[in-house]
Structure 1
Amino acid sequence: KPVEKEKPKPAEEEQPKPTEEEKPKPAEEEKPKPVEEEKPKPTEEETPKPAEQEQPQPVEEEKLTQVEEEKPKPAEEEK
């Protein structure tokens, strides 16, 4: 009886020790990797969005004025 009790005790203690040490190591390495990749993605998307919105606004206004003036003239001449 005492021999059986002593065997499972050290066996259980030895198993959780290596598993706990191995689990946190890869978990910590995997976590920082995706976090770094996710951070630059949203920052890059947010910066070009406002920059593109500000530029096309004045460009579209200039194109619309020119297109409106050019389109009706040739359209009337063709008809």
Structure 2
Amino acid sequence: MGSVQRKTNKYLELYRKKFRKKVRTVLSFTPPGIKKNDFIKLFSEIYPDDIISMEKNFRFYQEKNRRRRRGKPLFFQTHQIYCIV
């Protein structure tokens, strides 16, 4: 495992823990049966910086994987919130 992949994994571990707490907090006060798009909209109103950061990092790793010539693609969680929950 290269240094880039180690940094990616470390970042994802920290990011996932904090992000899950925020998602669960928003889920705690949303009505049951909320649609995915409505939930994403609500989450982006409460935590706009997290949505922007997540999309930015997802695009960065997509571009990095596109240019990568050796090794396996770097893994980064999809930028959809409902995939993390």
| TM-score (ref. length: structure 2) | 0.33
| Structure having greater relative contact order (Cα 8 Å, sep ≥ 6) | 2
Q: Greater helix share, 1 or 2?
A: 1
Structure label with greater radius of gyration: 1
Give the TM-score, by structure 1 length. Answer: 0.35
